[in-house]
Structure 1
Amino acid sequence: MTSLLVLNGPNLNLLGQRQPEVYGHTTLSQIEEQCHQMAERLGITVAFGQSNHEGDLVDAIHNARGTYAGIVLNAGAYTHTSIALMDAISSTQIPVVELHLSNIHAREAYRHRSYIAPVAVGQICGFGPAGYSLAITALVGHLEDGT
């Protein structure tokens, strides 16, 4: 059975409280439940993680080798700063879908640059919590037929 890792970066543990005008009122635990429901519909399993620490995220990506077929990654602000995450994705060669709750391209200019995008199979942004289900579905499709 296909297994995916849904990995979340800094400050996402505060969803539902942090800037609800940007990120909405849905909590990370509610998003996790949505991910498990989507996984069940698709006949796969998902593991869910979150860390505010860059090195923990790098370790999670490294440790995904041989365990998960792909990763949905909401790297938060590390998207725009972390060459380490980019290198970890490149090194493991695990398919990654980059995910953002908000449309990073419609926000501040410094958010337009993604170090993750060049090594990801795709990017989903701007759809709020629904983006997680979209990302899981897209990643499963990619794994099944390589597109």
Structure 2
Amino acid sequence: MKILVLNGPNLNMLGNREPDIYGRDSLEQLEKNLHELCQQEKVEVDLFQSNYEGALLDELHNATKKGYAGIIMNPGAFTHYSIALRDGIAAIDLPVIEVHISNVHAREEFRSKSVTAPVSIGQITGLGLYGYELALLALKQYIQGRG
């Protein structure tokens, strides 16, 4: 089973960007954590980060061709207004779990609205980088249950 992890804008700044909100671990640490979990779970994972909406859309559109069984996605700020990403998720026949490092519902009002969550199978927020690990376990179970 192959899982794609997509990270949107500013997530390349993890560890440096507002550490009181996002923590001190880097994107590289997230990758290391997920690869360790994947070895235990016998799952393959690829991570992709971009600050560009179109690049994230291209990855979504090509995910099936590349053999992914599901996607974990942190759309970053695109969560709140990107109809293009929302439609990109809806256009593919793969389960997507939306992840947010901070609790977006406990922050600024505009962050509580997600246009991508309604086309995702679930959303995990506020658990730091551990949310990605939970998403991986949940996605694996979901995919196995469908098969």
Provide structure 1 residue ranges, at least 5 long, that are not aligned to the other structure.
none
Provide structure 2 residue ranges, at least 5 long, that are not aligned to the other structure.
none
Q: Aligned residue for 2:134?
A: 134
Q: Aligned residue for 2:2?
A: 3
What are the within-5 Å matches in structure 2 for residues 59-74 of structure 1? 59-66=58-65, 67-74=67-74
Per-residue Cα deviation, 1:32-69 (whole angstroms, up to 9, x for no partner): 11111111111110001000000000000001013200
Report the TM-score when normalising by structure 1. 0.97
C-alpha separation in 1, matches of 2:144 and 2:93: 16
C-alpha separation in 2, matches of 1:77 and 1:39: 27
**Equivalent pairs, count:** 145
RMSD: 0.7
C-alpha separation in 2, matches of 1:143 and 1:131: 18
Is structure 2 residue 26 aligned with structure 1 residue 24? no
Give 3-state SS (helix, strand or coil) of 2:114's partner. coil
Amino acid at match of 2:57: V
C-alpha separation in 1, matches of 2:50 and 2:93: 21
Is structure 2 residue 106 aligned with structure 1 residue 102? no
C-alpha separation in 2, matches of 1:57 and 1:94: 15
Report the TM-score when normalising by structure 2. 0.97
Show structure 1 runs of 4+ deviating over 6 A.
none
C-alpha separation in 2, matches of 1:137 and 1:78: 24
Identical-residue share of aligned pairs (%): 49
